[in-house]
């Protein structure tokens, strides 16, 4: 991910992005599809077909090198990345009770459950293009296997004869000290591979009590020529249906006043641009059906936002909607936007019994910690989440967070 210079964007990463999501920002600049000639397109297509045929026809051998990303499963050997039909040809099928997603978001992945007899595995269907892609057309970039999902845990094996029954000592002896590790009450986590750079990892969880491997996860995501994506500049039609609110409403509604103007979240990024806000920090184009984060600035004050692209193609930030905003009171050196909620609640609000009563009467829950009092509100039917923090000692508002991902423009 591109390094943001502003402190606020670092903080948003801590608060918001707990999930793994594939990032595309470390990748080099890519040429637009429109600049590719027909012969080049045919060449690219032939290369991808040749790769697919190679996956299908090659009798893979189980390598002793983790970086070859091979594994043995129920008598067959596979190499990642591969395709779903390679598994299907060997008797694996999508689990009957599992509703496989129709498509995979741009620059993202979806998990799919496969079964063969009483055995079950999880494969990760990876889309490294910026546009949506049908799930079955994506590459299998990862696999996850639990010992309890196989009749015989030894039926899944990786390099150097490591299986789901191997001990922690076996793993260290085979591969040496891991690149990352973590010990909890129930497991020890080993990771071999620098996933932050190339998304290739092998995760091994071992039960501390009997030191038996419980889960092995392998990733090898490879960006191919067919993943090159042109950023579409066409404005999605739904954005034109947005209507700005004419009154504040209840504090549990996703309506805020920013710099004197009311917005209903999610609102088009273009609305803020038209009102004088400028994008000053960003990740560039936003993949289809996916999110990104930006900083906007006006009159020396900043807004930290998460934006979402609801289109089926990769597009510009201006063609997205704001789904989350946050503001933090971190000192005069970092002036923030004037964001206000109902009852004039803002980053300048100080805690009082009246404020406490208002928030609780409005449906907020209250959690008191050593240094912070946190008020939270969530409603699932419109997917709205609001958090307001006050410092216990000074009573000053420290943090305001609003998220709403439900786009319902009439």
Q: Say if residue 306's pLDDT is above 80.
A: yes
276 pLDDT tier (thresholds 50, 70, 90)? very high
Cα-flanking dihedrals φ and ψ of residue 10, to 5°?
-65, -40
Hey, what are 252's tokens?
Answer: 């549990």
Residue 50: predicted pLDDT: 52
- pLDDT, average across residues 160-177: 91
Question: Are the C-beta atoms of residues 56 and 85 closer than 8 Å to each other?
Answer: yes
- pLDDT, average across residues 353-376: 95
Hey, what are 170's tokens?
Answer: 């076996």
Among 36-40, 106-110, 223-227, the least confident range = 36-40
Residue 296: predicted pLDDT: 94
Residue 269: predicted pLDDT: 97
60 pLDDT tier (thresholds 50, 70, 90)? low
Q: Say if residue 392's pLDDT is above 70.
A: yes
- pLDDT, average across residues 158-177: 92
Q: Say if residue 408's pLDDT is above 50.
A: yes
Q: What is the mean pLDDT of the chain?
A: 84
Residue 381: predicted pLDDT: 65
Among 72-81, 242-251, 268-277, the least confident range = 242-251
Q: In what order do the strands lie in the sheet with 339-340?
A: 261-264, 255-258, 339-340
Q: Say if residue 185's pLDDT is above 80.
A: no
- Look up the pTM and report it: 0.77
Residue 238: predicted pLDDT: 93
330-to-23, 236, 259, 336 alpha-carbon distances in Å: 28, 36, 19, 9
59 pLDDT tier (thresholds 50, 70, 90)? low
Residue 186: predicted pLDDT: 74
**Structure confidence by residue, pLDDT tens digits, 23-38:** 333 333 333 333 344 4
Whether residue 163 is preceded by a cis peptide bond, meaning omega within 30 degrees of 0, is no
Cα-flanking dihedrals φ and ψ of residue 252, to 5°?
-80, -5
What is the CA 323 to chain-centroid distance, rounded?
Answer: 14
Q: Residue 199: helix, strand or coil by DSSP?
A: coil
């Amino acid at each position: 991910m591109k390094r943001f210079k502003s402190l606020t964007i670092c903080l948003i990463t801590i608060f918001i992005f707990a999930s793994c999501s594939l990032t595309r920002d470390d990748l080099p600049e890519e040429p637009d599809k429109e600049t590719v000639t027909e012969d080049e397109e045919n060449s690219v297509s032939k290369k991808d077909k040749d790769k697919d045929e190679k996956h299908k026809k090659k009798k893979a051998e189980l390598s002793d090198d983790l970086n070859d990303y091979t594994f043995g499963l129920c008598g067959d050997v596979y190499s990642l990345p591969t395709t779903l039909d390679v598994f299907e040809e060997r008797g694996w099928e999508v689990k009957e009770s599992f509703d496989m997603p129709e498509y995979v978001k741009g620059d993202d992945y979806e998990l799919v459950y496969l079964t063969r007899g009483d055995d079950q595995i999880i494969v990760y269907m990876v889309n490294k293009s910026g546009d949506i892609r049908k799930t079955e057309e994506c590459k299998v970039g990862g696999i996850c296997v639990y010992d309890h999902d196989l009749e015989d845990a030894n039926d899944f094996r990786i390099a150097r004869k490591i299986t789901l029954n191997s001990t922690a000592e076996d793993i260290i002896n085979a591969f040496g000290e891991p690149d990352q590790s973590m010990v909890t009450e129930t497991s020890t986590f080993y990771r071999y591979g620098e996933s932050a750079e190339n998304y290739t990892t092998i995760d091994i969880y071992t039960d501390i009590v009997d030191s038996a491997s419980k889960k092995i996860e392998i990733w090898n995501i490879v960006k191919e020529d067919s993943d090159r994506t042109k950023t579409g500049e066409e404005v999605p039609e739904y954005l034109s249906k947005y209507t700005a609110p004419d009154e504040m409403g209840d504090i549990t509604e996703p309506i805020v006043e920013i710099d004197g103007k009311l917005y209903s979240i999610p609102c088009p990024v273009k609305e803020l641009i038209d009102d004088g806000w400028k994008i000053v920090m960003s990740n560039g184009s936003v993949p289809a059906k996916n999110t990104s984060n930006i900083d906007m600035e006006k009159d020396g004050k900043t807004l930290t936002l998460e934006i979402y692209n609801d289109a089926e193609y990769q597009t510009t930030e201006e063609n997205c909607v704001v789904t989350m905003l946050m503001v933090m009171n971190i000192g005069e050196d970092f002036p923030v936007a004037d964001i206000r909620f109902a009852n004039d609640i803002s980053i300048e609000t100080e805690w009082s019994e009246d404020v406490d009563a208002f928030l609780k009467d409005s449906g907020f829950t209250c959690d008191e910690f050593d240094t912070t009092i946190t008020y939270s509100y969530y409603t699932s039917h419109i997917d709205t989440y609001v958090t307001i923090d006050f410092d216990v000692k000074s009573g000053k508002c420290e943090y305001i967070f609003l998220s709403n991902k439900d786009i319902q423009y009439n």
